[in-house]
Amino acid sequence: MHLLNADLHSHSHVSDGTLSPEDLAQRAHAQGVEVWALTDHDEVRGLAAARQAALAQGMAFLTGTEISVSFAGETVHIVGLGFDAEDTALQAGLADTRGGRRARAQAMADGLAAAGVGGAFEGALRYVSNPDLISRTHFARFLVETGVCNDTYEVFRRFLTEGKPGYVPHQWARLGDAVKWITQAGGVAVIAHPARYKFSATAEYALFSEFVAHGGQGVEVMTGSHSEAERVRYAEVAEEFGLLASRGSDFHSPTESRTDLGTLPDLPGRLRPVWEALAHRIQRP
Ligand code: AMP
Ligand code: MN
Ligand code: MN
Ligand code: MN
């Protein structure tokens, strides 16, 4: 059976993407995406425009968000799909999670200034559409624009990752809270890009088992940040933990993202796609 072209992970300028929700919907449709979810970091405020634009294009739509979580000393991202975006507990949880971003950005700018890169707070802000969502990506764009680095990947490597001058440790949401906000709003929680975390085997096992114990049900197998070997590995992990499998490009920008919307390979046929479990939550044109 031919699998659906579902892309369930992408960002608009409501978080750290560069396109509006409407332009992202248009690009997803042009790329052949049949079911699309917008998953802005710690935000749902782009979903109404995204939904309207998706349905106008004739494309099916799922609500989404990508929640920043602190677990075992690492930042982990939990994607929520198919929830009720009006749910007040979810909205309050996301507002709390976003809350410290401005002070964190100030501290990042201080660190960068000490390393000789001045004006980074104001510089990053020029790329921000949502004042509640200043992200490392906005700083990265500023450092590329000013010629300090050649591309955003270089900025992260030299300035914005642990131990580097612009990195500021931050306390995000708790894993159990993030999963609860999503599931109690009728959605499915999914571990995003699991290969990106620098966990020991023990800590990774703890992440998956605690996630499942809290009611988490899915894992990204096909994502823009997995190599072929990592796709194979997390397909096995999905089976081991009985998780639904997801597929999403994690698209942020036409000029920065290496994986465009709708272009990843299909999920391995033996895995159960998360969008099948969410059939009743998919909004159709
Ligand atoms: P923040 O939520 O402010 O910590 O920013 C996290 C975002 O930065 C991620 O969602 C990615 O878009 C981007 N990012 C994180 N690490 C890297 C990296 N090594 N290279 C490029 N972008 C990255
Ligand atoms: Mn991002
Ligand atoms: Mn992520
Ligand atoms: Mn993402």
Q: Write the pLDDT tens digit of every residue in 198-257.
A: 999 999 999 999 999 999 999 999 999 999 999 999 999 999 999 999 999 999 999 999
From ligand 4's centre to the CA of 192, what distance in Å?
8
Any atom of ligand 1 within 6 Å of the Cβ of 41:
yes
The whole-number average pLDDT for the span 56-76 is 98
Nearest partner of 204 among 248, 215, 193, judged by Cα: 193
List, in sequence order, the alpha helices (H) in the chain: 21-30, 47-57, 88-98, 101-114, 120-125, 136-145, 152-155, 175-184, 201-213, 228-241, 274-277
Q: Write the pLDDT tens digit of every residue in 155-204.
A: 999 999 999 999 999 999 999 999 999 999 999 999 999 999 999 999 99
Any atom of ligand 1 within 6 Å of the Cβ of 9:
no
- Residue pair 65/170 in contact (Cβ under 8 Å)? The answer is no
Residue nearest ligand 1's atom 9 by CA: 137
Q: Given the CA of residue 16, which atom of ligand 1 is nearest to it? A: 12
Any atom of ligand 1 within 6 Å of the Cβ of 193:
no
Residue nearest ligand 1's atom 2 by CA: 135
What percent of the chain clears pLDDT 70, i.e. is strictly above it? Answer: 99
Full-prediction pTM beyond 0.95? yes
Any atom of ligand 1 within 6 Å of the Cβ of 258:
no
Any atom of ligand 1 within 6 Å of the Cβ of 137:
yes
